[in-house]
Amino acid sequence: MIFEEITFALAVFAFGLSLIEFIDAFRAGPLPVPAWLRKIKIRRKWVLGIILCMATVVIFCVMQLAGLEVPSLIMISLSTMVLLGLVAIGEVVNERAGTVNIGLEGILLLSSFAAVYGTEVSGKWPVGVFLGVTVGALTGLIHGLISIYAKGNQIISGMGINLFAAGFVAFGIWTAWVPGVHMLSPGLGIPRISTPWGGLSWFVPLTIALALVVQFVFYKTTWGVRLRAAGENPGAVDASGVNVFRLRLLACIFGATLAGLAGAFMSLDWVGMTTKALPAGRGFIALGCVVFSGLEPLSALGAAALFGFFEALSIWIMAIPGIAAVIPSGASNFVKMIPYIIILVAVAAVISRRRFPKSVGRPYRREEI
């Protein structure tokens, strides 16, 4: 069927992106890499990528024949990619314009709660998504006003948003339903594209399309140039007659809106519940993706696919039937560490080759005459 092919194509696309990022990281890696590998030209990098891709397909086939559920691993990977990817793309836009938002974790938490709340009250999921996105945008507006217009400390403001969200969502779940966890009522989730391996979320093609659009806007339109210049040299943008403050504020709201969309996806589409610690650090992993990608939208999606894969792996391993009998008890905690360790190592590996906008994280002050 057509849907089957779409799913397959998306999986291959996401997988290819993650492999490119992987090779990129490996070439720069902390491990002693042989000189010939460092010197590989771009074209050979693609050849290496195709070989690795084929090797992985073979491994997957063997795993499948051994009775392991490989399609479910791919489906979970796509979900984690969407979540990390939406947040990371939004933050790339935001940081390129010159503002850092470390409150993404809090925005994910707030919007995932708001989305479930809206859906439960109205009985329709679009209302929930709308509410989630609105909450994200409003939080972005507040963060933007503080860090761009009031020239406050962006990191502290972001941390404040995280702390506020942790308290507010716990309070909200308590007052709306019962303390702790609320499962979404059955039948209220976002409908999915049906495939033989289970439902594929509409958010998967949406996220990929969004990354391509943002990449296009960044490098092919005037607005993209202005946005990138606002992070490099805001004075020049200001002198050319563009309102730097408004540009940065819009970028900040855009980034937070995408984080709000990701929160709605997480609670309504993926896990179907809201808890007081639902994102579990994924907002910060997305920040790691942003650093890893060197603030390129498509690379950010690739990084999201890569780290999403490792996160999916850690979820998937523990779901293999009979795994508890094979590995020692308590080992699950070490498996859950995998994504966090990998992102730490990967960021450390590539960071020296990344260049960041000159005035990122610094509020722009117009020079007094």
Residues that bind another protein (CB under 8 A): 102, 142, 146-147, 150-157, 159-168, 170-171, 174-175, 179, 276, 280-281, 284-285, 287-288, 291, 329-330, 333-334, 336-337, 340-341, 343-344, 347-348, 351-352
Among residues 133 and 285, whose Cβ is nearest to another protein?
A: 285
Least distance in Å: CB of 156 to another protein?
4
Instruction: Report the alpha-carbon distance of residue 215 to residue 221 in Å, rounded.
Output: 10
**Nearer to another protein among residue 122 and residue 153 (C-beta):** 153
Amino acid (one-letter) located at 342: I
**Smallest distance from the beta carbon of 327 to another protein, in angstroms?**
13
Question: Which of 14, 165 has the CB closer to another protein?
Answer: 165
Minimum gap (Å) between residue 131 Cβ and another protein:
16
Smallest separation (angstroms) from another protein to the CB of 334: 7
Taking the complex as a whole, the smallest distance from the CB of residue 54 to another protein amounts, in Å, to 32
CB nearer to another protein: pick between 140 and 189: 140
> Whose Cβ is closer to another protein: residue 26's or residue 168's?
168
Of 162 and 257, CB closest to another protein: 162
Q: How many CB atoms sit inside 10 A of residue 276's CB? A: 19
Taking the complex as a whole, the smallest distance from the CB of residue 268 to another protein amounts, in Å, to 23
Residue (11 or 287) nearer to another protein, CB? 287
Q: How far is the CB of 173 from another protein (least distance, A)?
A: 9
Closer to another protein at the Cβ: 110 or 251?
110
Q: For another protein, give the closer residue by CB, 42 or 178.
A: 178
Q: Are 112 and 279 in contact (CB under 8 A)?
A: yes
**Least distance in Å: CB of 146 to another protein?**
6
Please give the Cα distance from 111 to 77 (Å, whole number). 22
Q: How far is the CB of 99 from another protein (least distance, A)?
A: 13
Q: How far is the CB of 222 from another protein (least distance, A)?
A: 31
C-beta of 40 vs 166, nearer to another protein: 166
Q: Which two tokens stand for residue 105?
A: 């974790």
- Cα(80)–Cα(221) distance, rounded to whole angstroms? 30
SS3 letters for the chain? CHHHHHHHHHHHHHHHHHHHHHHHHHHHCCCCCCHHHHCCCHHHHHHHHHHHHHHHHHHHHHHHHCCCCHHHHHHHHHHHHHHHHHHHHHHHHHHHCCCCCCCHHHHHHHHHHHHHHHHHHHCCHHHHHHHHHHHHHHHHHHHHHHHHHCCCCHHHHHHHHHHHHHHHHHHHHHHHCCCCEEECCCCCCCCCEEECCEEECCHHHHHHHHHHHHHHHHHHCHHHHHHHHHHHCHHHHHHCCCCHHHHHHHHHHHHHHHHHHHHHHHHHHHCCEEECCCCCCHHHHHHHHHHHHCCCHHHHHHHHHHHHHHHHHHHHHHHCCCHHHHCCCCHHHHHHHHHHHHHHHHHHHHHHHCCCCCCCCCCCCCCCC
Site of tokens 């339903």: 177
